[in-house]
A and B are shown apart, each in its own frame.
Chain A
Amino acid sequence: MKTDELIAALAAGVEPVDRRAPERRLLLAAGGGLLLGALLMLALLGLNPALAHDAGLPMFWVKLGFVAGATVAGFFATTRLARPGAALAPAAVLVGAPFASMWLLALLALGATAPEQRVPAIMGSTWQACPINIAMLSIPTLAVALWAMRGLAPTRLRLAGAGAGLLAGALGALAYALHCPEMAAPFIGIWYALGMLVPVVAGAALGPRLLRW
């Protein structure tokens, strides 16, 4: 077939397209994933019984701010990775910001903690459950975010999968934060980040296979 004929065929009867399709699609995935993750949290883990009390503490909002920041960064990064040739540096900065801030806060908190209290501040009482639960709660969002990405045009498949994983991990952590009783910055900086890393790695591994187009 001649290329001219193909072009004529492609151009025939084109419809207007939605220029904000990547944002719309990924927002839908994030909303659906958050809902599924929250339902999974309520069904399997339950709300933190002390939530009403904790919500009065600044550290609760720091924790929530950290995962919300990671969510925004994951969303922004995926919208960039869904568009061929989009600059990625701003997304990298945005991804780095919440983690760098949280780790700085963790270091400051550790510095202000008596040496014998530092290990408990890091380990809390739920460190074994925290990363596993965050990873588990992120599974629905990872599936939906990869599906959303498939309808777009990622050209760096491993990074695109990792970006979908970050969005999923951050939303999983957001749901988990409503169950989790931990309040120490070092705990959140380590175990929350580790929990989010699991879907990032899973997304990077699945990306080249699932996102090919």
Chain B
Amino acid sequence: MKSGPDAREARLRELMIVAQDGDAAAYGGFLRELTPFLRAYFRRRLQSRPDDVEDLVQETLIAVHNSRHTYDALQPVGAWLHAIARYKWVDLLRAQANREALHDPLDDDSAALLTDAEPAAAEARRDLRVLLTQLPDKQRLPIECVKIEGLSVAETAQRTGLSESAVKVGVHRGLKALAALIREGR
């Protein structure tokens, strides 16, 4: 497999186009291939806060997922991804600036002292399953069934008593709500 930027762009674009047609394997491959680049991108930009890196990687993956309908096949996929990653990074900086303006900076210092110096790689501090418990049932159940247990929409509808369209809407809104919870928790 070639690994130059052009070959990578071509491969990611191909995966993304197939993923937009509903190919879960291609989509998983796309996200997996993309993740190390996101991690390196955020690590370079968050050198003073390495703990935020994996959180931001996960948040960006959710953002990519929630906006996958805005990728145009005529557009370079690298530019699309970069704009999303950059947006999430700037959003984090803005949220931090707001928080530091509001809170006693000592809070941040004590937290920094108690933080593990080398957090396990590729593991975010927040557990999305814990966050999931904060969602209403009509969003939580569809996500648990479809996204975690891997049931089909029809099976989920049968098990939860929701209609199929309610399951789809629940997954979609639930993922957006999760991203919002991550943002608030920052």
18 additional A-B residue pairs with CB within 8 Å, beyond A7-B28, A13-B171, A155-B87 = A2-B123, A3-B54, A4-B32, A6-B58, A6-B128, A10-B65, A11-B25, A11-B27, A13-B24, A13-B151, A15-B168, A16-B22, A17-B20, A19-B71, A83-B71, A152-B70, A155-B83, A213-B66
Given known contacts A3-B54, A83-B72, A85-B79, is B147 in contact with A9 (CB within 8 Å)?
A: yes
Which residue of the partner chain A has the closest CB to B147? A9
B84 contacts the other chain (CB 8 A): yes
Chain B 31-60 interface residues, beta-carbon cutoff 8 Å to A? 31-32, 35, 54, 57-58
Point out the residues of chain B lying under 8 angstroms from A85, CB to CB: 75-76, 79-84
Point out the residues of chain A lying under 8 angstroms from B151, CB to CB: 13
- Binary contact track B143-169/A, C-beta < 8 Å → 1, others 0: 100111011110000000000000010
Smallest distance from the beta carbon of B175 to chain A beta carbons, Å? 8
Point out the residues of chain B lying under 8 angstroms from A152, CB to CB: 67, 69-70
> In the complex, A86 Cα to B75 Cα: how many Å?
7
- Footprint of B on A, CB under 8 Å? 1-4, 6-19, 21-22, 82-86, 152-153, 155, 212-213
Point out the residues of chain B lying under 8 angstroms from A82, CB to CB: 70
Whether A14 and B122, one on each chain, are in contact in the complex, defined by CB atoms closer than 8 angstroms, is no
Number of residue pairs spanning A and B whose beta carbons lie under 8 angstroms apart: 127
Which residue of the partner chain B has the closest CB to A16? B22
Whether A16 and B21, one on each chain, are in contact in the complex, defined by CB atoms closer than 8 angstroms, is yes
Q: List 19 A-B contacts (CB under 8 A).
A: A3-B57, A3-B122, A6-B58, A7-B35, A9-B148, A12-B146, A12-B150, A13-B147, A13-B152, A14-B22, A15-B22, A15-B153, A19-B69, A19-B71, A21-B69, A21-B70, A84-B67, A85-B84, A153-B63
Point out the residues of chain A lying under 8 angstroms from B168, CB to CB: 15
Point out the residues of chain B lying under 8 angstroms from A153, CB to CB: 63, 66-67, 70, 84
Which residue of the partner chain A has the closest CB to B22? A16
> In the complex, A49 Cα to B146 Cα: how many Å?
60
Given known contacts A7-B61, A13-B24, A155-B83, is B69 in contact with A18 (CB within 8 Å)?
A: yes
